[in-house]
Amino acid sequence: MRRASSLLLLAGSVALAGCPLDSPTELRSSGQEFPVTAMWTGTAAPIEPATVAGTLAAEQHLGFRVNASFTINGDPSATYQWRIFRGDCTINVPQSTSEPNGLVLFATSQSYPDVTVGSSGTASVAPAIAGELDSLTAYSVRIRKSVTSTNWNGTNPIACGDLQRTPAG
């Protein structure tokens, strides 16, 4: 028994001696290192009589994350809300049992910071949104004037644009 233990200890020591001391363990602790799998873009055009417009560029990352960049052109000092919804701009009803193909919010309302337009008439935000956009599903980016309620079902936007997907690479 002692001899077997000694041989195991010797074999383990030899194995460890072969490992370089300057080779630290690789640890990925940041989602920034996950590769981009697709790009999504959309231009939210004003719906009359509104004049506000916006553009969205989003990187879909492996690992259930979307890095969004949203720019809005609107009235100076005005605050707007924006969201990505499942459903294109032709749909103007929320999903329900009677409307199974209605609008559904992508992620949570907390994922979308309000945008306050500066004196130049433009503003931008760049949130990271938890989730994965499905390549077989239609999505739209929608804008409305900011209100106290963040529970917006996507209906009656003042600007809307359908998202387009392109594979990464």
Report the distance separating Cα 51 and Cα 10, nearest Å.
77
pLDDT above 70 as % of the chain? 81
Q: Is the peptide bond before 49 cis (omega within 30 degrees of 0)?
A: yes
Q: How many residues does the chain have?
A: 169
For the segment 47-106, what is each residue's pLDDT rounded down to a tens digit?
Answer: 999 999 999 999 999 989 999 999 999 999 999 999 999 999 999 999 999 999 999 999
Structure confidence at residue 33 as a pLDDT band (50, 70, 90): confident
Is it the case that residue 23 has pLDDT exceeding 80?
no
Once rounded to an integer, what is the mean pLDDT over residues 139-163? 93
Element (H, E) at 15: helix 2-17
Domains of the chain by start residue, with CATH: 33-167 (2.60.40.200)
Residue 137 and residue 86 in contact, taking contact as beta carbons nearer than 8 Å: yes
Structure confidence at residue 150 as a pLDDT band (50, 70, 90): confident
Structure confidence at residue 34 as a pLDDT band (50, 70, 90): confident
Report the distance separating Cα 72 and Cα 141, nearest Å.
12
Quickly tell me which residue has 């041989």 as its tokens. 7
What pTM, to 2 d.p., does this model score?
0.80
Report the distance separating Cα 122 and Cα 98, nearest Å.
39
Q: Of 10-14, 31-35, 80-84, 149-153, which gets the smallest average pLDDT? A: 10-14
